[in-house]
Amino acid sequence: NGKFIFDIALLRDNKLHRFAYISAEGKVIRFFLINKREDRDSPVAVFDACMICGDMGYIKKDGQLICISCNVRIFLPSVGKSGGCNPIPLKYEYDGKKITIDVKDVIAGSNYFSQI
C-alpha cells in the first residue's frame, strides 16, 4: 500500500532499528527508528544521514546515538529535529500504537545517499 508500518513494541528495547529501501535507480536509502526516551514511548523516524557528515550513518552505543563520521554524541531527545549533526528528519505518523512512513517520503530522501 506504499507505506511502512511498524508496531511501537519494536522500539521498546531502546535500540536503533535500521532499515533500507532500494529506489528504482538502485540507490540504497537508509532510515532508522529509535525511541528517544527510555522511560516512555517516544518514537522518531530519521534518515541514517546528516547534512554535515553525509551518509556515514549512526550507531547507538552505551545508550548514546553517535555519528560514525565525526564521533559526536547526539542528545537523544533532540533526534527528529534538524540541525547540527542530528539525523535528517523523516516524515512519519504515530498513533500511539503504530509508526507509519510513506514510501514516497523515504524516496524523497534519496539525495542524502550516494550508495548505488
CATH number of domain containing 107 = 2.102.10
**pLDDT under 50 in the chain at which residues?**
none
Contact by Cβ (8 Å): 2, 102: yes
CA-wise closest residue to 58 among 76, 77, 83: 76
pTM of the model: 0.94
Question: Half-sphere exposure of residue 47, counting CA atoms within 13 Å on the CB side?
Answer: 26
For residue 66, the enclosing domain spans: 3-112
Q: Give the three-class secondary structure for 106.
A: helix
Domain count, the chain: 1
pLDDT of residue 91: 98
Instruction: Provide the 10 A C-beta neighbour count for residue 33.
Output: 22
Place of cell 517520503: 105
pLDDT of residue 10: 95
- Round to whole Å and give the CA distance between 27 and 47: 14
pLDDT of residue 72: 93
pLDDT of residue 114: 87
pLDDT of residue 116: 62
CB neighbour burial string for 64-74, b if at least 16 within 10 angstroms, e if fewer: ebbbebeebeb
